[in-house]
């Protein structure tokens, strides 16, 4: 059983590593084009979106590219900030010269639709939502917030950091009228870090502008290359093989089954946690991970004992939450059985 | 024998793929720090530089990060432009708001020290040189040009695109007084694309300025994280394992032996080429690759016959050179024996 349960990078299963361990195909060859065409189709299924693509880089790079490609310096965007990762969008927006309206929430707290709508007017170019905030485990109701925004302000671009939600929970990029979504390989896609995938709406594609062909942050270049099923820059070919088999496995099992696996992992853990007297940190909580604590326990001590005595790897809290919470993943290979085994070992520690 | 001879991505040898195929270490763990400390030491040896680091991304990303981190908008930089990859620095500089003085040379032509010096005055903040231009195979005498620049203008930052020169030809970042160097994993380092490594001088490090911790283009963040032997963002851990074993292999054989292997690959090919009546495109020529042609032959036809009849993969010319030249790599596993075998097959085609 996989005992590596940090909320990304997740455990990379052997079938993915085997795919990566293939002879290199040159990324400027017809063979690569055939391969990449198939990958894009599987990615469309994952995002439930017509227009998709991949880039080499981390989630931070994905965030920056979206900001850079969809908005112009001086434009106004609203960012819901309720954790470390959503805060990144605030920083990146300001760095790029956008006027960022920060809807600041406490860490671990959700946001309501009216709160977001209150920030909007006809001068707002975009709203940025972090669907599942990996630092705290809180979830934002992207579907309903997007629905309300588009009804009131159809021209506003909705960009979603779906880094720990796509492949974990129901996500329908096109049907929910999302304009830009980002996901990283090292989360539900069970791959090594190195690639980031995106989806765009027609509205978003219409806003892309050419800069120069070497501008690696400009999604325009990726969309152009997609037409020939190729990559605008050196493609991370080995990593894309890994991504492709993971996408094929998700498509083979079908998304609802994948979502259900994470759901059951989360439910099992949370029920068991409650029985042990533990507390879930975030409300409402994402199914990608659970951030939790036990009163009167040093959580770092629990983390290190889980590792040394039982072999489990969990993550600490980030920033100001270090020591106060631990985080456990429900993504990728983490399932109900994994959680049952983890809970059994936790019980031995908490109620010896 | 490896018959995959494009000048990057190069053939990834089995020992590198095996290293990549390892269980994931979390990039925020003490185990990763121990690993990364060793990797940085080996990278110092490779660059012959005190201060080094790695980033996730392609060569283009490395180029952009250097520009972004070392120069401020409005500053004047001189770029020697004699091919597709050096042209990228011109575009990227302008995109970032630098005043770019373009020293335009014909594709395939070198540049002399006086030509570069002529462009300099006390208002110039930096000079950007592409050591080995992968689109044409031309080499620039970085050592002597840097020596002359530093004697006349010690404050000017010298940035070198060493993407196809580090690990191929003698390169001494610190001793040559280079301020910033970039190399990609998929060239002499025999790795899949996905990581880029850099070296900086003390002068360059002194110019780095903090922006925000999520600013993935700012080398300041990487240098800060290096102090704790960690990565500022999600580290491409699997790829770094591959990079590390390649660096260990280079260090084990010692750099002069590695340089000699590429030198012999290049010499063998060029002597044989001449005997067959072929022509080297660039002058002076880099040892990383040879761009070549045969009069009265369609080079794309030679390329496709070499592939289909003999199993060799070479690269076409890029942009306007497509059809006029082919390019063959002398990096990584390409050695004298590989070239002898390739020449034998080429002879059957050219002089049947």
C-beta atoms of B233 and A58 within 8 A? yes
pLDDT bucket at A267, cuts 50 / 70 / 90? very high
Q: Which of the residues B236, B304, B328 would you substitute to probe the A interface, choosing the one with the greatest number of A C-beta atoms within 10 Å? A: B236
pLDDT higher than threshold 80 for residue B220: yes
Q: What is the count of residue pairs from A and B with beta carbons less than 8 Å apart? A: 150
The whole-number pLDDT of residue B312 equals: 96
C-beta atoms of A91 and B192 within 8 A? no
Partners of residue B59 in chain A, C-beta under 8 Å: 234
Residue-wise pLDDT tens digits, B290-302? 999 999 999 999 9
Partners of residue B235 in chain A, C-beta under 8 Å: 193
The whole-number pLDDT of residue A67 equals: 95
Residue-wise pLDDT tens digits, A50-86? 999 999 998 889 989 999 999 999 999 999 999 999 9
C-beta atoms of A215 and B27 within 8 A? no
Q: Max alpha carbon distance in chain A (Å)?
A: 63
C-beta atoms of B214 and A184 within 8 A? no
A233/chain B closest Cα distance in angstroms? 7
Residue A142's nearest CA partner among A161, A123, A164 is A161
The whole-number pLDDT of residue A63 equals: 87
C-beta atoms of A59 and B237 within 8 A? no
C-beta atoms of B216 and A18 within 8 A? no
Name A199's bridge partners.
Answer: A52, A181
pLDDT higher than threshold 90 for residue B261: yes
Provide the token pair at A241. Answer: 């093989």
Q: Are B140 and B165 in contact (CB under 8 A)?
A: no
The whole-number pLDDT of residue A180 equals: 98
The whole-number pLDDT of residue B147 equals: 96
pLDDT bucket at A151, cuts 50 / 70 / 90? very high
Residue A64's nearest CA partner among A38, A46, A82, A89 is A89
DSSP B199-246: EE-HHHHHH-----TT-TT-HHHHHHHHTTT--SS---HHHHHHHHHH
pLDDT higher than threshold 90 for residue B52: yes
C-beta atoms of A60 and B214 within 8 A? yes
Residue of A nearest to B318 (CA): A28
pLDDT bucket at B315, cuts 50 / 70 / 90? very high
Burial of A128 (0-12, 13-18, 19+ CB in 10 A): buried
- Cis geometry, peptide bond prior to residue B284 (ω within 30 degrees of 0): yes
The whole-number pLDDT of residue A347 equals: 96
The whole-number pLDDT of residue B24 equals: 78
Q: What is this model's ipTM?
A: 0.78
Residue of B nearest to A317 (CA): B28
Q: Which contacts (CB < 8 Å, 24+ apart) does range A120-123 have? A: A120/A78, A120/A149, A120/A152, A120/A153, A120/A156, A122/A153, A123/A76
pLDDT higher than threshold 90 for residue B63: no
Q: Which of the residues A7, A18, A23, A56 would you substitute to probe the B interface, choosing the one with the greatest number of B C-beta atoms within 10 Å? A: A56
The whole-number pLDDT of residue B27 equals: 84
C-beta atoms of A58 and B216 within 8 A? yes
C-beta atoms of A6 and B26 within 8 A? yes
The whole-number pLDDT of residue A236 equals: 87
* A8 or A246, higher pLDDT: A246
B153/chain A closest Cα distance in angstroms? 30
| Mean per-residue pLDDT of chain A | 94
Residue of A nearest to B62 (CA): A216
C-beta atoms of B91 and A215 within 8 A? yes
Helix (H) or strand (E) holding A51: strand A51-56
Partners of residue B66 in chain A, C-beta under 8 Å: none
Q: Which of the residues B20, B190, B193, B220 would you substitute to probe the A interface, choosing the one with the greatest number of A C-beta atoms within 10 Å? A: B193
Residue of B nearest to A242 (CA): B21
Partners of residue B64 in chain A, C-beta under 8 Å: 216-217
Mean pLDDT (whole number) for A287-314: 95
Residue of A nearest to B241 (CA): A192
Residue A19 to residue A326: CA distance in whole angstroms: 32
Q: Which of the residues A236, A246, A327, A328 would you substitute to probe the B interface, choosing the one with the greatest number of B C-beta atoms within 10 Å? A: A236
C-beta atoms of A92 and B235 within 8 A? no
Residue B267 to residue B344: CA distance in whole angstroms: 15
Residue of A nearest to B84 (CA): A214
The whole-number pLDDT of residue B43 equals: 98
* Residue of B11, B58, B236 with shortest CB distance to A216: B58
Residue B149 to residue B127: CA distance in whole angstroms: 9
Q: Are B280 and B290 in contact (CB under 8 A)?
A: yes
Dihedral over Cα of A248, A197, A238, A188: its sign: negative
Least reliable range by pLDDT among A17-21, A95-99, A228-232, B124-128 = A17-21
* Residue of A12, A193, A238 with shortest CB distance to B235: A193
CA distances from residue A304 to A74, A281, B27, B238 in whole angstroms, order as listed? 47, 20, 16, 24
C-beta atoms of B194 and A56 within 8 A? yes
The whole-number pLDDT of residue A154 equals: 96
C-beta atoms of A91 and B214 within 8 A? yes
Residue-wise pLDDT tens digits, B265-281? 999 999 999 999 999 99
Residue A142 to residue A129: CA distance in whole angstroms: 7
Residue of B nearest to A13 (CA): B23
DSSP code at position A109: B
Give me the percent of chain A exceeding a pLDDT of 90. 86
SS (H, E, C) B101-153: EEEECCCCECCCHHHHHHCCCCCEEEEEEECEECCCCEECCHHHHHHHHHHHC
C-beta atoms of B56 and A59 within 8 A? no
Residue-wise pLDDT tens digits, B165-210? 999 999 999 999 999 999 999 999 999 999 999 999 999 999 999 9
A94/chain B closest Cα distance in angstroms? 10
Provide the token pair at B62. Answer: 């490395």
pLDDT bucket at B22, cuts 50 / 70 / 90? confident
B175/chain A closest Cα distance in angstroms? 31
Mean pLDDT (whole number) for B31-43: 96
DSSP A59-91: HHHHHHHHHHHH--TT-EEEEEE-SHHHHHHHH
C-beta atoms of A56 and B59 within 8 A? no
Q: Are A125 and A156 in contact (CB under 8 A)?
A: yes
C-beta atoms of B9 and A26 within 8 A? yes
Partners of residue B313 in chain A, C-beta under 8 Å: 26
Residue B206 to residue B200: CA distance in whole angstroms: 10
C-beta atoms of B216 and A315 within 8 A? no
* B235 or A304, higher pLDDT: A304
The whole-number pLDDT of residue A235 equals: 85
The whole-number pLDDT of residue B26 equals: 84
C-beta atoms of B60 and A214 within 8 A? yes
pLDDT higher than threshold 80 for residue A23: no
C-beta atoms of B58 and A58 within 8 A? no
Residue of A nearest to B25 (CA): A9
A152/chain B closest Cα distance in angstroms? 32
Residue A76 to residue B238: CA distance in whole angstroms: 39
Least reliable range by pLDDT among A232-236, A302-306, B284-288, B304-308 = A232-236
B91/chain A closest Cα distance in angstroms? 7
Provide the token pair at B343. Answer: 């020449």
B334/chain A closest Cα distance in angstroms? 15
Mean pLDDT (whole number) for A207-223: 93
């Amino acid at each position: 059983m996989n005992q590596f349960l940090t909320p990304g990078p997740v455990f990379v299963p052997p079938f993915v590593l085997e795919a990566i361990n293939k002879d290199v195909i040159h990324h400027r060859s017809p063979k690569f084009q055939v391969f990449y065409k198939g990958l894009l189709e599987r990615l469309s299924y994952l995002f439930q979106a017509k227009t998709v693509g991949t880039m080499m880089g981390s989630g931070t790079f994905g965030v920056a590219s979206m900001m850079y490609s969809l908005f112009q310096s001086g434009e106004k965007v609203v960012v819901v900030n309720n954790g470390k990762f959503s805060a990144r969008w605030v920083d990146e927006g300001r760095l790029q010269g956008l006027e960022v309206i920060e809807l600041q929430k406490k860490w671990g707290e959700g946001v309501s639709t009216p709160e977001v709508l209150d920030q909007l007017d006809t001068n707002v170019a975009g709203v940025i939502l972090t669907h599942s905030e990996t630092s705290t485990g809180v979830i934002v109701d992207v579907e309903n917030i997007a629905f309300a925004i588009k009804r009131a302000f159809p021209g506003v671009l909705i960009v979603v950091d779906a880094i720990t939600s796509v492949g974990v929970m129901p996500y329908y990029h096109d049907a929910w009228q999302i304009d830009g979504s980002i996901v990283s390989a090292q989360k539900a896609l069970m791959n090594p870090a190195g690639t980031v995938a995106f989806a765009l709406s027609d509205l978003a594609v219409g806003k892309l502008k050419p800069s120069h062909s070497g501008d690696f942050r400009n999604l325009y270049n990726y969309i152009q290359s997609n037409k020939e099923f190729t990559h605008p820059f050196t493609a991370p070919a080995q990593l894309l093989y890994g991504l492709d088999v993971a996408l094929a496995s998700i498509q083979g099992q079908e998304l609802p089954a994948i979502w259900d696996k994470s759901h059951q992992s989360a439910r099992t853990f949370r029920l068991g946690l409650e029985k042990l007297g533990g507390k879930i940190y975030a409300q409402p909580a994402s199914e990608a991970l659970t951030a939790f604590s036990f009163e009167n326990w040093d959580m770092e001590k629990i983390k290190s004992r889980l590792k040394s005595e039982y072999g489990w790897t969990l993550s600490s809290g980030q920033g100001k939450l270090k020591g106060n919470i631990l985080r456990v993943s429900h993504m990728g290979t983490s399932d109900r059985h994994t959680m049952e085994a983890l809970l059994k070992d936790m019980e031995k520690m908490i109620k010896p």
